[in-house]
Structure 1
Amino acid sequence: MTPEMVLDLFGEALFLIVVLVAVIVLPSLTVGLIVSTFQAATQINEQTLSFLPRLLVTLLTIMWAGPWLLGRLMDHFNSIFANIPLFLG
């Protein structure tokens, strides 16, 4: 296994992690921004008003995008396992 192969494999894995996390975090971040703008406009400083919508959006995003996320992860690991002879040889 050459250093180029290791770096390529590491780069693919890192990009996959960034994509998987972004799919989960970005909707929650958007809802948090909307709720915080609402809180600033109305001067309501309730912690649950900020936390609960973000939690619900995160859970709904995981339920909606979960099969796609798992499929991407499984494709990456299947590619790694299929290329083991190439990595060793």
Structure 2
Amino acid sequence: MSDADVTEIAAQTMMLAAKVAAPILLTALAVGFLISLFQAATQIQEPTLSFVPKMISVAVVLLITGNWVLSSLVDFTEHLFDQLPRLLDRT
């Protein structure tokens, strides 16, 4: 296995991690921003007011995108296992 192979696998892994985490993180960011705007407008500074809606929205996004996330991870793992013989022959 060459340095280029390791770099390619690492780049693919980081790209997949970003794609898988994006819906969850963007949802938490958007809900947190909206809640902070609401708190600034109403001057209600309750910590649970920001935590509970974020937790619920992240759970909903996980329910919606969970199948896609799991299939993406399984496809990537199968792809890596399919590449193993080719990568090991290069040594």
- TM-score with structure 1 setting the length: 0.97
Number of positions where the alignment pairs a residue of Structure 1 with one of Structure 2: 89
Mark the runs of 5 or more structure 2 residues left unpaired by the alignment: none
Structure 2 SS opposite 1:45: coil
- Aligned residues: CA RMSD: 0.6
Higher relative contact order (CA 8 A, sep 6+): 2
Structure 1 SS opposite 2:44: coil
Flag as ranges the 4+ runs of structure 1 deviating above 2 A. none
Q: Aligned partners of 1:58, 1:23: CA distance in 2, in Å?
A: 9
Report deviation, 1:2: 1.1
Q: Which residue of 2 aligns with 1:27?
A: 27
Q: Aligned partners of 1:13, 1:54: CA distance in 2, in Å?
A: 27
Q: Aligned partners of 1:31, 1:23: CA distance in 2, in Å?
A: 12
Mark the runs of 5 or more structure 1 residues left unpaired by the alignment: none
> What is the CA deviation profile of residues 32-57 of structure 1, one whole-angstrom value per residue up to 9, with x for unaligned ones?
10010000000000111111000000
2:55 partner letter: L
Q: Aligned partners of 1:54, 1:34: CA distance in 2, in Å?
A: 10
Q: Aligned partners of 1:34, 1:6: CA distance in 2, in Å?
A: 41
